[in-house]
Amino acid sequence: MKNRFRIALVAGTTVAMLALVGHASADLIFFDDFEGGADPAWSDGGTDVTPVGQREFLGRLHDGAVSLTLSDLPPHTELGLSFDLFVIGLWDGNESPDIWGASADGGLPFILTTFRNETPGDGDGFQAYPDFWPGGEHPARTGASENDTLGYDADAVYHLSYTIPHTAGDVVYYFFGFPDLAEEDWGLDNVSVTPEPCTAVLIGLGVVSLFSRRRW
């Protein structure tokens, strides 16, 4: 009887904890594909549409920054950020350099890099991505998920994902770019923010694990 009670208790508690973890890690805090315009959470809500595919996105942006402010976040220990970066025009990579980056809450950038949109093998310039700048010498368009699909003279799409430690009830993400020429622009699409499980839930799973190993 004791063993049956123990199994039922541990199983029930584990299922409940796993459900909480799944709920915490799967729920989107924020998503914006900019179809029909930008969410008010953006500091600059200007959008554009790509010549090919008519994909509406945040942009076109050039020399400067845009921020995303989210409040009333659920309990969490980390935040996951995912987005598509549109690199538009003949970015020169490390030569100029053409720098792009992103950070959260005024902290150090979690990405600070350069991009080059020359065709691979054309010229002898490099980009820093997927490494930080300064540092990293990679061929043009390294890591791009799409090349010349948007309809501009030159363009590349990078699908980027980052997870940062975070516990506060609000967050401000900053995205910034400093290409050197007027025809070198950038934009964002399919931006999502996801919370990772609360520490209390993870501790609860640990307690269940220890509890299940005890001899009754």
Domains and CATH numbers, the chain: 29-197 (2.60.120.260)
One-letter amino acid identity for 57? F
pLDDT reported for residue 22: 43
pLDDT reported for residue 3: 52
Residue with tokens 């025809």: 183
Q: Model confidence over 10-27: pLDDT tens digits?
A: 444 444 444 444 444 458
Instruction: Indicate whether 96 pLDDT > 80.
Output: yes
Backbone angles phi, psi at 173, to 5 degrees: -95, 140
Instruction: Indicate whether 126 pLDDT > 60.
Output: yes
In contact, 43 and 176? CB cutoff 8 Å: no
Residues 6 or more apart in contact with residue 184 via CB below 8 angstroms: 62, 88, 89, 90, 91, 92, 98
> What Rg, from alpha-carbon coordinates, does the chain have?
22
Task: Look at 181 and 105; give whichever has higher pLDDT.
Answer: 105
Q: Model confidence over 52-93: pLDDT tens digits?
A: 999 999 999 998 999 999 999 999 999 999 999 999 999 999
Residue with tokens 């989107």: 28
In contact, 88 and 152? CB cutoff 8 Å: yes
Q: What percent of the chain has pLDDT over 90?
A: 69
d(C-alpha 118, C-alpha 109), whole Å: 26
- Coil, helix or strand at residue 79: strand
> Which residues are 101's β-sheet partners?
112, 176
Chain length of the chain: 216
d(C-alpha 82, C-alpha 60), whole Å: 19
In the DSSP assignment, the letter for residue 132 is P
pTM above 0.75, yes or no: yes
d(C-alpha 212, C-alpha 179), whole Å: 57
Instruction: Indicate whether 191 pLDDT > 80.
Output: yes
Structural tokens at position 8: 């039922």
Residue with tokens 């299922």: 15
Task: Look at 207 and 65; give whichever has higher pLDDT.
Answer: 65
